Amino acid sequence: MTDLVDKWHSLEETAEYLGVTKDTIRNWIKKTDIPAHKIGRLWKFKLTEVDEWVKSGKSAL
């Protein structure tokens, strides 16, 4: 299970994991400090970092 959580996930996968739209993720990238990493032209996420960000309460706008 740890191997799956620690891999890089796409914007689409992260949106599905959180139950939000891709546009919501894009807005969070612009307006909040969601832990996103730009690799080339693509945004990538580690679900462990995203989980910690959500638990911290910073996802509530």
Confidence of residue 6 (pLDDT cuts 50, 70, 90): confident
- What's the chain's average pLDDT? 89
**For 23-37, what is each residue's pLDDT tens digit?**
999 999 999 989 999
**For 38-48, what is each residue's pLDDT tens digit?**
999 999 999 99
**Residue 49 neighbours by CB under 8 Å, 6+ apart:** 35
> Residue 42: which of 29, 51, 58, 53 has the closest Cα?
29
> Residue 36: which of 19, 27, 49, 22 has the closest Cα?
49
What top-level class would CATH report for the domain 2-55? mainly alpha
